[in-house]
């Protein structure tokens, strides 16, 4: 059944630099022809469908009548119009909802459920991130839909997945950071556990959702059948422990918080300079020797406490203060210039405004110009 839907609001991508990772326009990308019904909201699901839209998929976003996605109210800041005036469009909402058409639809009512099913008849993918069991109440769960729509790839992104004792719990990124182990190993040794500055597991759950959807679409080429892609934020957070998790499994010892340091590599940390800070990552003995040569401190290479990675890790309480005194003697700019010439890993610590002005970031097409409905100029 063909439907004509009234678009509630759209965020339309009008410019995307063609390049190694870009597409001139979204409809010509590798997912052109794939139709996605986006019943997700907030961040994890919308970030997944946005990425699919960037690759050319057609995204129809279902929002609640009147109120819409919660992130429409996650403000300030708002997208600004001419002369610096605020629009009524939250910057947060636009960050994860480009390349979509939004429709206002109440799927808790039979009429809305019927429209959802009409849309599914023409869709390849449904993605949702409601608490487990929510859509089942309205006849829109995977088990209820799979016979009528056997071709459908149905992706659920939840805090704890659709199985297990925690499956019905609600979740937010900070809860997952706490329960997945990352907070316990983040922060300074004598301080409280620390969350990351980003909604890391909302975003990485979205990425895993896209990977699962693409795998399911590929499998459908062979079988003709869709499947349920069950993404758990907690699963993702545990998987991303990776080397830190294996450190525990190898020794059965809890990792202590080491601040901005690396538990297995020294120096791999924030270093003080004469006028600020920078990052130094001498990730092997050869790079450490190069650092010492730049610093004019080859005596450190001859010191048994410094001359191997194992020695530097074991003697971290001695090594770190000694290196700090060395790096304080020159400016950040001096260290970056000299260490880059020597091939030693280093970086400035940038604020977002500096990131968005960085020539490499700009050359990679990471800053795009968009038309946002409701604003009178690109944002």
Alpha carbon separation from 223 to 214, 215, 219, 220, 227 (Å, rounded): 14, 12, 6, 5, 10
Q: Catalytic annotation on 371? A: no
Instruction: Look at the block and give the residue holding tokens 């839907």.
Output: 5
Active-site entry in 38, 124, 202, 235: 202
Helical spans, DSSP H, in the chain: 44-54, 91-95, 110-120, 142-145, 173-179, 200-223, 233-239, 242-251, 285-295, 299-302, 309-314, 316-327, 332-342, 352-355, 359-363
The strand pairing partners of 104, in sequence order, are 63
- Per the structure block, which two tokens stand in for 313? 């890790």
Angle, vertex CA 154, rays to CA 150 and CA 159, nearest 5: 150
Tokens in use for 142?
């995977």
Of 372, 326, 297, nearest to 80 by C-alpha is 372
What are the CA-CA distances from residue 368 to residues 14, 24, 25, 40 (Å)? 9, 11, 12, 24
CA distances from 31 to 18, 24, 52, 294 (A): 16, 14, 7, 49
Pairing of strands 345-347, 100-104: unpaired
Number of other CB atoms surrounding residue 221 within 10 Å: 7
Which residues are identified as catalytic? 202
């Amino acid at each position: 059944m063909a439907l004509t839907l009234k678009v509630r609001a759209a965020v339309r991508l009008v410019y995307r630099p063609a390049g190694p990772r870009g597409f001139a326009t979204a409809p010509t990308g590798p997912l052109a022809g794939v139709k996605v019904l986006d019943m997700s909201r907030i961040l994890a699901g919308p970030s997944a469908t946005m990425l699919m839209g960037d690759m050319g998929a057609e995204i129809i976003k279902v929002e609640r009548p009147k109120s819409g996605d919660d992130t429409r109210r996650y403000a300030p800041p708002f997208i600004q119009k001419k002369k610096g005036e605020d629009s009524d469009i939250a910057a947060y909402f636009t960050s994860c909802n480009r390349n979509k058409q939004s429709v206002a639809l109440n799927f808790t009512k039979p009429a809305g459920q019927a429209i959802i099913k009409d849309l599914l008849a023409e869709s390849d993918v449904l993605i949702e991130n409601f608490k487990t069991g929510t859509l089942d109440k309205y006849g829109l769960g995977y088990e209820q839909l799979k016979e009528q729509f056997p071709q459908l790839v149905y992706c659920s992104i939840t805090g704890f997945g659709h199985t297990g004792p925690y499956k019905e719990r609600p979740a937010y990124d900070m809860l997952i950071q706490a329960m997945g182990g990352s907070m316990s190993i983040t922060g300074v040794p004598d301080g409280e556990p620390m969350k990351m500055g980003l909604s890391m597991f909302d975003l990485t759950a979205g990425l895993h959702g896209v990977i699962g959807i693409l795998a399911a679409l590929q499998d459908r080429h062979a079988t003709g059948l869709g499947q349920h892609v069950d993404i758990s934020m907690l699963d993702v957070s545990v998987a991303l422990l990776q080397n830190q998790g294996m450190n525990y499994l190898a020794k059965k010892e809890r990792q202590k918080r080491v601040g901005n340091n690396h538990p297995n590599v020294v120096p791999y940390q924030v270093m003080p300079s004469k006028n600020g800070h920078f990052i130094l990552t001498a990730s092997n003995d050869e790079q450490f020797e190069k650092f010492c040569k730049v610093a004019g401190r080859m005596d450190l290479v001859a010191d048994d406490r410094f001359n191997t990675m194992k020695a530097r890790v074991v003697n971290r309480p001695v090594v770190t203060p000694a290196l700090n005194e060395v790096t304080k003697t020159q400016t950040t700019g001096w260290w970056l210039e000299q260490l880059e010439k020597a091939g030693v890993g280093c970086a400035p610590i940038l604020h977002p405004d500096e990131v968005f002005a960085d020539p490499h970031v700009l050359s990679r097409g990471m800053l795009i110009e968009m038309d946002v409905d409701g604003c009178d100029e690109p944002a």
